[in-house]
Amino acid sequence: MTVIRVISKALLSFLLVLAGTLHILRPGFFLKIMPPYLPLHLELVYLSGVFEIAFGLLLWVPGYSRWAAWGIVALLIAVFPANIYLYQHQEIVRASPAMHLFRLILQGPLILWAHWYTRPTPTQPSSTPSNPTPPS
């Protein structure tokens, strides 16, 4: 795995675990941006936090990393309605319209970032020669 890929995975993992932890420890912000048509607001906030933490950690577990990345993609798509709701009701969070738009658009690059880890890592070339010569 390249250094850039490792650093990128570490950053994505850290951001997911941080966001998930905030969902659980400080659900108030996330409750405010829940669209009213969704049921069980607090439960969904906690559930999304648990999944963020789990997927962020599973990115590092061989055999589960690609599944975790697909889970992150699905989770980011699942929470997108909350981001749309916040954009439509900008009075919920004090920020400039440009900042609200940036937060909404940021979802796309985050999905692509997670999608990068759904692909298998390229195998590294073998350190042994393909036609070894027998010792004389």
pLDDT, tens digit, 9 for 90 and up, residues 41-70 = 999 999 999 999 999 999 999 999 999 999
| 41 lies in some domain | yes
Inter-residue contact 76 to 114 (CB < 8 Å) = yes
**pTM score, whole prediction:** 0.85
Number of domains, the chain: 1
Domain-embedded: residue 28: yes
- 12-42 pLDDT, tens digit each: 999 999 999 999 999 999 999 999 999 999 9
In a domain, 95, yes or no: yes
pLDDT at 108 over 70: yes
Q: Is residue 136 part of a domain?
A: no
Q: Tell me which amino acid residue 89 is.
A: H
**Does residue 105 belong to any structural domain of this protein?**
yes
d(CA 21, CA 1): 28
Please indicate, yes or no, if residue 94 is contained in any of the structural domains.
yes
Residue whose pair of structure tokens reads 């998930």 in the numeric block = 20
Structural domain boundaries enclosing 71 = 3-116
Cα angle 72, 73, 78; round to 5? 95
Residue 123 falls within a domain, yes or no? no
Domain assignment present for 71: yes
